[in-house]
Amino acid sequence: MFENFRIIDFQLCKSDYNGFFIKELAILNYSKSDGMNVSVYLIEPPEDMILTRKDQYHNNYLERNIHGLNVYSGTVLYNNLSDLLKPNDGVYLTIVKGKEKRNFLKNHYKAGIILNWDDENSQPLNEDRDRMNVHCTYHDGKKNFSCAFKHCFIILNSMIAAKEELENSIKRETSM
């Protein structure tokens, strides 16, 4: 399909600290020479973040009903996030699902084309989530929470199914 690309998805927690912060990050890298590699990170909250009572309420809801991730858990420091999000050499196409995610990456990591898969495929990720039997270590065995790792594979499957439309979108992006 393409020589090199990456798919990024992330789950968020709410905070008055920029409105949100990335809690779980999944990056699927594909290169024609090396194949596919997927990494998943659980990000600690920013050190200087103070959650308001309203933020705590929203994040408790997200933990119980959406992504199942505790706001204070993590294995990677938030300060290391920018290093994780930098594209590998030779990757000029990054695919995300969602306007907010695309805008976040465009504002912070201006490398190559960042394509919003929502513009190409309007099917919500949760329609395929229940049928796909892949789990990251943070969601394995839990109920069907939103999982960035699983979302990367759902996007990849829909990209394969819509190869021609995706190629046309890339041509449009490069001609602007």
pLDDT tens per residue across span 15-51: 875 678 889 999 999 888 888 899 999 999 888 888 8
What token pair was written down for 59?
Answer: 């994040």
Non-local (6+) Cβ contacts of 170 within 8 A are 2, 93, 113, 115
Domain ranges of the chain: 4-175
What token pair was written down for 148?
Answer: 């960035």
Tell me the pLDDT tens digit for each residue of 110-119: 677 888 888 7
Interhelix angle 163-175/148-161, nearest 10 degrees = 90
Sheet hosting strand 4-15, strand order edge to edge? 35-42, 19-31, 4-15, 93-96, 113-116
What token pair was written down for 138?
Answer: 């943070």
- Does the structural domain 4-175 have CATH classification 3.30.420? yes
